[in-house]
Amino acid sequence: MGDLHVGREIHYEVFRRVGAKGGWTLHDVRSDRDSAIEMAQGLMKAEKATGVKVVKETYNDDTGDYLTLKIFEEGHNQVQVPVAQEDAPHAIPCFKPEDLYSYHARATIRRLMPDFLARNKITVTELIHRADMLEKLEATGTVYQHAIQKVAVAQAASTSANVQQIVKSLNELATQSIQRVYRDQRKGLFPNPGANQFAELAIKLAPQGDASYIFNAALANHLKDARGWDQKVEMLLTVMEHAPQEEAPRKLVLSSVDAILSEAMGGSAALHELMGKTETLAESQGLLIETFLGRAPKNAKGGLSMLTQHFAKDDLAEARTAVADRIVAEFKSTKRLMPDSLVEELKALRSLANKVVMGVGKYLSHEDLVAAFTLRSKRLVTQETLSSYIDGAGADEKVERLLFVEENVIGAENKRQLASFVLPVVNSAPFENVFSNGKTPILGRLQRLVFLQTRVRRSNFIEEHRQEIATKIDKIAFAAANAAKLFESIDGRPGSHVEKATTLLKLSLNGMFTEGLLANKAREMILGYLATPGFLAGYFATLPQPGKNEDAMTALMADLGKAGITAETGLKSIAA
């Protein structure tokens, strides 16, 4: 059989909860199981959480799905799963033929044979209700037996029975189920109504114990002639729109149609055909999100257009959940949204995030989206990706590019990783040289430093890194201003203290002083000029409209406030 994880990608998501009734929030994403559990335990020991859990996510290349399993929890209601049992939930807990029709069994079958389903353009529900397709599956031999073996291996991890015993029992179970369909087909148990006759059939079948089995078989036979996925969706929705009003038969129709649609929406083959050809993952995700939000994508055909109308009316809960799951799985996947450009990748990520967040609710959880975007962000802040992105840029341009990345990725660990790229650049000689170059006007250099520092100060780097980077930029600005004798030149000019104070105030308001040493120096000088005897009288004398002293004082106080000088400090300093 080989390694069950071949062709799969595994990562571990660490969640924490704060407070007795606090919800789960994603804390970090790790590629190693032990380090993820250690991190979760560390959060509890440091009393940074009242509960923690670690979720194992396994990406299946064949289906494009993430299989989710909680492997560790500490706090209230602890559930810890041994390593050997981590894959056990992927098995089918079947004991009788009817169990193969359960939701979990159908989901497992879809994961086990995606190629067969895609190649024949059918869903699992169609497969297990159509004698011709079951016969075709049996004829493949290899696909059929490998599926049985995979389930047996997974079940063996959580039971005392050996693989051979489980294979034997599963084979017997599958054979009984297949023979049942063959037999019922020969007996004529499966009706073949027209699109407008399913309501009548549902009313007739609703009181019966095997209503769902027979109705789904009728649906599967009805869909045989569909020329593609879009027509299949249209045929299903037409049946649903003619559902009877009586509760039991209506529920039979709606639940059967929704189940088949959810299986179609959960498979990449159907979605690719429904959405049409796209150039990038960003484009296909955009179409998928539009569909999920109940907006028909441009050029949508009849089936997809009808589907979005039902989503807009909040119909088809299972199908809509399947689309939501697909959106999250694609965001978690290793495929780039825009493979040729990191800038376009980040722009697409932000644009899609702003769009998909509108759909957060009962079908799409905020927690799942954060986990997906954090994982995608993690793949964008690697040494290789970032080094390639800033390669060849000037030192100040490198910082600006890295700050652009910071604005568009999420996750505390990702921010820390990014800061580890920014700090060496800011502390490098080339970065200092850019701003100590006397050939460039000093005000232009200072304005550039203020721009970079402002971006840093509003970033979501951890406080320690944010402060370290901002302080370094300020020190470089202060040194540049001193080297250019900026303050000395202003103070040494002929003119009044009012003019000098006004000059410094304008420079401050125009964003010429970094916060820290430089801005403090400017404020000290402004306050010194304000305290010069005769300042207020001189200030009023400069007014273009004499007699408007009260308005002028209000404006002056406002400007001082923008420069970081409180009204109280300003009023105390001003000398008449």
Residue numbers of the domain that contains 31? 8-86
CB of 242 within 8 A of CB of 199?
yes
Q: pLDDT tens, 535-556?
A: 888 888 887 776 677 888 888 8
Q: Specify if 271 maps to a domain.
A: no
pLDDT in tens, 246-271: 999 999 999 999 999 999 998 888 98
Final residue of a domain: which of 433, 461, 484? 484
Question: 3-25 in b/e burial notation, b at 16+ Cβ within 10 A?
Answer: eeeeeeeebbbbbbbeeeeeebe
The per-residue pLDDT for 140 is 80
User: Which residues are bridge partners to 29 per DSSP?
Assistant: 13
The answer to the question of residue 137 being in a domain is no
Same domain for 547 and 516: yes
Q: What's the burial of 60, exposed, middle or buried (CB within 10 Å: 0-12/13-18/19+)?
A: middle
Residue 92 in domain: no
Residues 549 and 500 in one domain: yes
What's the confidence (pLDDT) of residue 89?
43
Spatial distance between the Cα atoms of 199 and 206, rounded to a whole number of angstroms: 10
The verdict on 447 and 387 lying in the same domain is yes
Q: Which distant-in-sequence residues (6+ apart) come within 8 Å of 169 by Cβ?
A: none
The Cα 398–Cα 396 span in angstroms is 5
Cα angle, residue 523 at apex, residues 522 and 524 outer, rounded to 5°? 90
Residue 549 belongs to some domain of the structure: yes
19 domain-assigned: yes
Report pLDDT for 300. 83
Regarding whether 29 and 60 lie in a shared domain, the answer is yes
Low-confidence ranges of the chain (pLDDT < 70): 1-8, 20-22, 59-67, 76-100, 154-161, 546-547, 575-576
The pLDDT of residue 218? 95
Q: Is 346 in contact with 403 (CB distance < 8 Å)?
A: no
Predicted confidence (pLDDT) per residue in 494-509, tens digit:
989 999 999 999 999 9
At CB < 8 A and 24+ separation, what contacts does 38-42 make? Answer: 39/14, 40/14, 40/16, 40/72, 40/74, 41/74
| Number of structural domains in the chain | 3
438 in a domain, yes or no? yes
What is the DSSP code (8-state) at residue 340?
A: T
The answer to whether position 56 is within a domain reads yes
Last residue of a domain, one of 466, 484, 502: 484
Is residue 41 in some structural domain? Answer: yes
Q: What is the tens place of the pLDDT at every residue in 448-487?
A: 999 999 999 999 999 999 999 999 999 999 999 999 999 9
**pLDDT number for residue 157:** 64
Please state the pTM of the whole predicted model: 0.78
